[in-house]
Structures are given as structure tokens and as C-alpha cells.
Chains A and B, each alone.
Chain A
Amino acid sequence: GESVGLHLPTLSVQEGDNSIINCAYSNSASDYFIWYKQESGKGPQFIIDIRSNMDKRQGQRVTVLLNKTVKHLSLQIAATQPGDSAVYFCAENYYGGATNKLIFGTGTLLAVQP
């Protein structure tokens, strides 16, 4: 079936440490993946994306890694700050028939301890 899931529902890190949030996806046909950050009561915000023809992509303090062999996606946040505390979602762009749609995982709560 089609699904995107996360290994860790809650991740607690110390301020200044690096954070790694993991995500598993099941659809080999998905060609595009996105990480979102959602703060309480707000809509998800785009963080970074990666296409299936890439293994790694870096942004400001964030890096996304894609391992197509094991269908695994991760988001690395360097020098985690209190403002990074939020729920993080991965999403895959899935092609089903003539259309494509974004499927979201359950989410991981990142709690940054000062």
C-alpha cells in the first residue's frame, strides 16, 4: 500500500545538539519528497525538498538525506535551537494513475531542551 511513516514520534534534544528525524516511505514510484515544520495551531511550513534522483540536499542548518534502496528519508538539523521545537512531517509525492498527490507521515515532535 501507500504510506509514509516515522520511526520516532517524539524526539528530545539539548539546545546546540544536532537533531535527526527519520521517515520511511513505501511507494517506489514517489519521485519527490518534502519536509515540513508545523508549530502549534499553524499550518505546516515548507522546510526543504529533494527529488528522487538525488541522495542529499542541504539548506540553511538543515540537510535531507534520501536512501531509495531502503526507502528512507531523514532530516538533519544542525545546532538545534529552541525555535526549532515543533512537529516535523515528511511527505511523498505519489503517482497513482493519471494524478499525483502528497501523502504525509504521522509526524515527529521535536522538543528542544534549553
Chain B
Amino acid sequence: DGGITQSPKYLFRKEGQNVTLSCEQNLNHDAMYWYRQDPGQGLRLIYYSQIVNDFQKGDIAEGYSVSREKKESFPLTVTSAQKNPTAFYLCASGHKAFFGQGTRLTVV
């Protein structure tokens, strides 16, 4: 089945650690996006990529990094520079932004 897959569903990070969230799609979409969602809030754009080997910062890129080496994959790294990383992270692909099921990251 075609779709977009995020993993893991739940992730726990110790303070000072970098963690990488996976996002894979087999929809042949050029565009991919990463959003952050805090409880009771909307979606804020972290990074987006319109094509392989190219990506742009969104509204809250500080403390995050991405890569787009393959069309199918757009991993997000939450670095230790992100002071408040606990949130629900959503990846999307395509012009109509089909979303994955999200990764809930908690700092312990």
C-alpha cells in the first residue's frame, strides 16, 4: 500500500542527546514537510523540502536538522540545542500534505 510512515511512534530522549525521527514515503512525492504540534495547539513548520538534496527552514528550525538524500526519506534530527523538544512531530508529503501518524517525543 502507498503511504507515509513515521517511526518510532513514541520516543524518549535524555537531556543533551540528539535523536532522529524517521519519515518514509512511497507515494513518489517530491515535497516533504516536518511539523511540530504542542498540546492543544496548531502545527508549526520546522523544515520542508521541495526536491531531493534541497530543503528550507520553516518557522521554528532552530535546534533541528534534516537531510533529503533520497526522494523517499526525510529524517528529522532533534539536537541538544532544542531547549523544549517534548512534542508531537508530524511528517507530511505531497502537495496536499498527506500525513504520517506522528512521533511523540518526550524528554526524560
- Which A residues have a C-beta under 8 Å from some C-beta of B? 32, 34, 36, 41-46, 49, 89, 91, 93, 99-107
Docked-complex contact A46 and B42, CB < 8 angstroms: no
Inter-chain contacts of B43 with A (CB < 8 A): 44, 89, 104
Nearest residue (CB) in A for B4 is A43
Docked-complex contact A44 and B45, CB < 8 angstroms: no
Interface centre among A34, A42, A45, A89 (most CB of B within 10 A): A42
Inter-chain contacts of A32 with B (CB < 8 A): 95
Inter-chain contacts of B44 with A (CB < 8 A): 104
Q: Say how far B63's CB is from chain A's closest CB, in angstroms.
A: 19
Docked-complex contact B50 and A99, CB < 8 angstroms: yes
- Which B residues have a C-beta under 8 Å from some C-beta of A? 6, 33, 35, 41-45, 48, 50, 56, 58, 90, 92, 95-102
Docked-complex contact B45 and A43, CB < 8 angstroms: no
Inter-chain contacts of B33 with A (CB < 8 A): 101-102
Kindly state the separation between the CA atoms of A104 and B59 in the bound complex, as whole angstroms.
11
Docked-complex contact A49 and B42, CB < 8 angstroms: no
Docked-complex contact B102 and A43, CB < 8 angstroms: yes
Q: Say how far B102's CB is from chain A's closest CB, in angstroms.
A: 5
Docked-complex contact A99 and B102, CB < 8 angstroms: no
Inter-chain contacts of B42 with A (CB < 8 A): 89, 104-107
Docked-complex contact B41 and A43, CB < 8 angstroms: no
Interface centre among B33, B96, B100 (most CB of A within 10 A): B96
Inter-chain contacts of B41 with A (CB < 8 A): 106-107
Q: Given A42-B101, A89-B42, A104-B42, does the pair A49, B96 have CB atoms closer than 8 Å?
A: yes
- Checking A43, A49, A100, A105 against B100 with a beta-carbon cut-off of 8 angstroms, the contacting residue is A43
Docked-complex contact B99 and A44, CB < 8 angstroms: yes
Docked-complex contact A102 and B50, CB < 8 angstroms: no
Inter-chain contacts of A99 with B (CB < 8 A): 48, 50, 56
